[in-house]
Structure 1
Amino acid sequence: MSNRTTATATPHDPEVNVERRWMSVVFMQGEEADGVLDMIDKNGPEAAIRHLSQWDYGDETRDAALVNGYVYEEIPKSPTDRVVRNDSAGYALTYNQHFGYVSLLRHFEPDVGEVRERLGPPVRFGFDRQRTARRTNGLRL
């Protein structure tokens, strides 16, 4: 199954390919993760997904993940991690009892234009104050 989908065509881009990505919603380890790991033992991973989804603030979470580089092509996991996907909610839970961490990720399709619009133009480090050099006729002998 491919993660590539075709977005709606526009007059400027007849066909735009958008990669589906996973973004980090929340990552907990150590004492912070102990309660969630206990919840998984007692009530199952679906209860933990519902609990951790409280840390998902929609576009704000997506934008923070994009800015901070917490966006992945595949679900990040180690060979000893357990991964539980809830495809109807769009979440994936990864956890490791032995190493004491838990992570919730959300599946999304990046809308590059929307993010660029929200972030604004890139900082130009003062280049906007530059002036064009005056043109001369060159050296005169």
Structure 2
Amino acid sequence: MNSTTTTATSISTDSAVAPPIEPRWMSVVFMQGDEADAVLDIIDRNGPEAAINHLSQWDYGDETRDAALVNGYVYDEIPQSPTDFTIRSDAVGYALTYNHHFGYVSLLRRFEPVVEDAREPVAPPSRFGFERQRPARRANGLRL
């Protein structure tokens, strides 16, 4: 007599278990020109940590986050070019990107997006009311 053992594997389709949310980076402030020159001087005199402390004045918490989300200034990774200097301060959750040659500084803050629970699937809102538009009636051409 031959006996076989079958192992059943169950795949959880429970919608309560959400995939882990990856932290993102949002723009707090971006400066160029004379404003950036003042901050670049702070970096040269006192170091990048002093610049991070100075630029963090422009972080208004949820208001800054909401503005970044609305305006599309949210990133998976810290945006930087090959010529940028980037200082990441995990203790305070900020990243400073600056470039002396191009004359700009940028402060970003790390945050974890909040995913709202939806018990039922929700259709995306219609844009510009296209679902209410009807095709125009076609005339047979010019009439004299």
Work out whether 1:110 is the aligned partner of 2:124.
no
The correspondence for 2:66, drawn from 46, 53, 63, is: 63
**TM-score, normalised on structure 2?**
0.71
Which structure carries more helix by proportion?
1
Work out whether 1:52 is the aligned partner of 2:44.
no
For the structure 1 residues 105 and 12, does the alpha-carbon distance in structure 2 shift closer, same or farther, using more than 3 Å as the test?
A: same
Q: Shift of residue 44 of structure 1?
A: 0.4
Correspondence for 1:15: 18
Please list, as runs of the form range in 1=range in 2, the aligned pairs for 1:70-85 lying within 5 A after superposition: 70-85=73-88
Where does structure 2 lack aligned partners over 5 or more consecutive residues? Answer: 1-13, 118-123, 134-144
The correspondence for 1:32, drawn from 25, 28, 35, is: 35
Please list, as runs of the form range in 1=range in 2, the aligned pairs for 1:80-91 lying within 5 A after superposition: 80-91=83-94
CA RMSD of aligned residues (A): 2.2
Where does structure 1 lack aligned partners over 5 or more consecutive residues? Answer: 1-10, 115-120, 131-141
Q: Shift of residue 112 of structure 1?
A: 2.8
Question: Runs in 1 of length 4+ with deviation above 3 angstroms?
Answer: 121-127
Instruction: Name the count of aligned residue pairs.
Output: 114
What is the distance in 2 between the residues matched to 1:45 and 1:104? 11
Question: What's the % identity of the aligned pairs?
Answer: 75
User: Which one has the largest radius of gyration?
Assistant: 2
**TM-score, normalised on structure 1?**
0.72
Q: Shift of residue 69 of structure 1?
A: 0.6
Deviations 1:107-133 (A, max 9, x none): 11100329xxxxxx9576458x99xxx
Which structure carries more strand by proportion?
1
Q: Shift of residue 15 of structure 1?
A: 3.0
Which residue type is aligned with residue 51 of structure 2?
Answer: A
Matched residue of 1:19: which SS? Answer: coil
What is the distance in 2 between the residues matched to 1:124 and 1:104? 34
